[in-house]
Amino acid sequence: MKHNLNLFILFFFAMIFFIFGWVSHSSYSPVHKIEKPSLLKQIKQAKELRVVLLNASSSYYIGPNGAEGFEYELLKSYAEHLSVELNITVVNTVQEAIEKVKDSSINIVSAALTKTPLREKRFNFGPSYFEVQQQLICNRSMIRAKTFPRTLEDLKGLDIKVGEDTSYSETIRSLVADGFDINVTFTSAYSTEELLEQVSSHTIDCTLADSNIYALNLPYYPEMDMAFTISKREQLAWVFPVPSRELKVDMYTWLNDFNQRGKMAELKDHYYSNAYFFDYYDNTMYYKRIKQRLSKYKKIFQEAGKKYTIPWKLLAAISYQESHWNPNAKSFTGVRGMMMLTNATAKLLGIKNRVDPKQSIVGGTRHIKQMIKFVPKEVRGENRLKFALAAYNVGMGHIHDARKLAKRLGYNQNIWSDLKQVLPLLSKKKYYKTLKYGYARGEEPVKYVESIYKYRDILENYDKYTKAKKK
Q: Could you tell me the sign of the dihedral formed by the alpha carbons of 48, 54, 58, 63, in that order?
A: positive
pLDDT of res. 9 = 58
Tell me which of 256, 275, 294 is where a domain ends.
Answer: 275
Residue 105, φ and ψ in degrees, nearest 5? -80, -15
What residues have CB less than 8 Å from 212, skipping those under 6 apart?
58, 112, 130, 132, 272
Q: How far apart are CA 67 and CA 48, in angstroms?
A: 18
Dihedral angle, C-alpha 459, 460, 465, 468, nearest 10 °: 140
Q: How far apart are CA 225 and CA 238, in angstroms?
A: 29
* CATH classification of the domain holding 198: 3.40.190.10
Listed residue (164, 152, 153, 135) closest to 224, CA to CA: 135
Q: Which amino acid, residue 266?
A: E
Q: What is the pLDDT of residues 20-42, one digit of tens each?
A: 555 555 444 455 555 678 899 99
Structural domain tally of the chain?
3
Q: Is residue 12 part of a domain?
A: no
Residues 54, 57, 61: CA angle, nearest 5 degrees = 65
Q: Is residue 112 part of a domain?
A: yes
Helices marked H in 94-244: 94-100, 117-122, 141-144, 167-177, 192-200, 211-217
Task: Give the DSSP letter string of 110-131.
Answer: ES--B--HHHHHH--EEEEEEE
Q: Is residue 97 part of a domain?
A: yes
pLDDT of res. 210 = 95
Q: Could you tell me the sign of the dihedral formed by the alpha carbons of 343, 348, 352, 356, in that order?
A: negative
β-strands 160-163, 184-187 pairing? parallel
Statement to judge: residues 243 and 170 lie in one domain: no
pTM score of the predicted model: 0.69
Statement to judge: residues 116 and 170 lie in one domain: no
Sequence-ordered strand ranges (E) for 213-329: 224-229, 234-239
- With H, G, I as helix, E, B as strand and everything else as coil, classify residue 64: coil
pLDDT of res. 22 = 53
pLDDT of res. 278 = 41
Q: Is residue 20 part of a domain?
A: no
Which residues lie across from 226 on neighbouring strands? 137
- With H, G, I as helix, E, B as strand and everything else as coil, classify residue 204: coil
Statement to judge: residues 154 and 254 lie in one domain: no
Q: Is residue 16 part of a domain?
A: no
Q: Is residue 297 part of a domain?
A: yes
Which residues lie across from 109 on neighbouring strands? 52, 239
Statement to judge: residues 312 and 427 lie in one domain: yes
CA atoms within 13 A on the CB side of 403: 19
Statement to judge: residues 288 and 150 lie in one domain: no
Statement to judge: residues 305 and 184 lie in one domain: no
What residues have CB less than 8 Å from 69, skipping those under 6 apart?
53, 56, 57, 58, 59, 60, 61, 271
- Where is 303: in which H helix or E strand? helix 295-308
Residue 459, φ and ψ in degrees, nearest 5? -65, -40
| Residue 137 and residue 225 in contact, taking contact as beta carbons nearer than 8 Å | yes
pLDDT of res. 361 = 96
Ordered per-residue pLDDT tens for the chain, 471 residues: 555 555 555 555 556 655 555 555 544 445 555 567 889 999 999 999 999 999 998 899 987 678 989 999 999 999 999 999 999 999 998 889 999 999 999 999 999 999 998 999 999 999 999 999 999 999 999 999 999 999 999 999 999 999 998 999 999 999 999 999 999 999 999 999 999 999 999 999 999 999 999 988 887 787 899 999 999 999 999 999 988 899 999 999 999 999 988 888 878 877 876 555 444 345 667 888 998 999 999 999 999 999 999 999 999 999 999 999 999 998 877 889 999 998 888 998 899 999 999 999 999 999 999 999 999 999 998 899 999 999 989 999 999 999 999 999 999 999 998 999 999 999 999 999 999 999 998 999 998 998 898 888 788 877 654 554 454
Listed residue (233, 212, 249) closest to 59, CA to CA: 212
Q: Is residue 31 part of a domain?
A: no
Statement to judge: residues 330 and 459 lie in one domain: yes
Statement to judge: residues 108 and 152 lie in one domain: no
Statement to judge: residues 309 and 246 lie in one domain: no
What residues have CB less than 8 Å from 445, skipping those under 6 apart?
389, 390, 391, 393, 394, 398, 399, 423
pLDDT of res. 235 = 95
Tell me which of 231, 262, 293 is where a domain ends.
Answer: 231
Residue among 322, 382, 444, 460 flagged as catalytic:
322
β-strands 48-54, 85-91 pairing? parallel
Q: Which amino acid, residue 262?
A: G
* CATH classification of the domain holding 321: 1.10.530.10
Q: What is the DSSP letter of 155?
A: G
Judge whether 164 counts as a catalytic residue.
Answer: no
Statement to judge: residues 364 and 451 lie in one domain: yes
Statement to judge: residues 427 and 398 lie in one domain: yes
Listed residue (429, 314, 394, 395) closest to 361, CA to CA: 314
**Could you tell me the residue range of the domain that residue 53 belongs to?**
39-128+237-275
Q: How far apart are CA 56 and CA 51, in angstroms?
A: 15
Q: Is residue 98 part of a domain?
A: yes
Statement to judge: residues 154 and 93 lie in one domain: no
